[in-house]
Structure formats: C-alpha cells, structure tokens
Amino acid sequence: MSSDETRDGGVLDGFHIGQVPAGIGDEVSDFATEWDDVRFASRVWERQVPDGHRVDLRVHVLRGDRLVDLTALRNFLGEYHERDPAEWDLSEFQHGDSTGLSDDVQAFWLVEPGVAVNVLTTPEFSGSLLATARSVQAEDRAPGE
C-alpha cells in the first residue's frame, strides 16, 4: 500500500467508515460502552510500539436521548473528554447536510437527534481527520426497513 492510500474501515453500528488513513495501526477492536445515559459503539485502530500499544484512530457512534442538537453533543463530549469549554477551540465543518465541529484531533456531528458520530485521531494523522470523518456515512437502508 502506498503512503497516500487509504483502506475501508468497515461498518460500525449502522455507519460505514469509508476510509482509514494509510499508516493507521492494523489491530482493530470493537467495544460497546455507556456513559451518562449515552451508548457508545466504538472501533479502535492501534499499533504496537516499543512501550506497549498506541491508539491511532477511534470512531464512536453515540446514541442517547440527551443528544438533541449540536450544542448538547458538544457539551456531552466536553464532559466525556474532560475538556474545559472555555479552552476548547472548535471549528465548524460540513458533513453532508450537517454541520460538525472539529479541533486538531477530533471531529463530531449530530446525524439526527439522538444519534451522533465522534472521530478521534492523533496529531500524526490530524491531516486526514476531516477526510476520515466525512467518509463516515449512515448505511443505506432498503425500503421498508
């Protein structure tokens, strides 16, 4: 694989992860957790390093009634990631018809009330963050589903 190639990240809780940047670790794990009444379906890519393992990329699909809008999502993730709201410098980005928020290492957006996606990476892969985030799309559903 050349250094500019990406790979498919598969499907996580109804969302297709269309691209994982080249160089991201090959060890992939899925987790299901809950925090403060929000359910997380998570996929983590990591690699072995001399001191153990390092997580290169995380994708979380979040589901919970408190995720009513982008502000509520931002507040929830600020609490979850222990970020001081006054010091969390976020920029808007477009994800399809939705507006999301991002910093250097994470991006998140509300898919619909109650459903959101959060993509996190390391500074090494920050240049691919928004492309990876935008590649995460809800799976198409067949009529009647």
* 85-101 per-position pLDDT tens digit: 788 999 999 999 999 99
The total number of structural domains that make up the chain: 1
- What percentage of the chain has pLDDT greater than the value 90? 81
Q: Is residue 145 part of a domain?
A: no
- What percentage of the chain has pLDDT greater than the value 70? 93
Which residues, including other chains, have CB under 8 Å from residue 3's CB and lie 6 or more apart? Answer: 22, 23
Give the pLDDT of residue 68. Answer: 98
Give the pLDDT of residue 143. Answer: 44
Give the pLDDT of residue 29. Answer: 96
Ranges of the chain with pLDDT below 70: 1-5, 141-145
Q: Is residue 79 part of a domain?
A: yes
C-beta of residue 67 within 8 angstroms of C-beta of residue 114: yes
Q: Is residue 45 part of a domain?
A: yes
Give residue 44's domain range: 6-137
**Beta strands 27-35 and 20-21: pairing type?**
unpaired
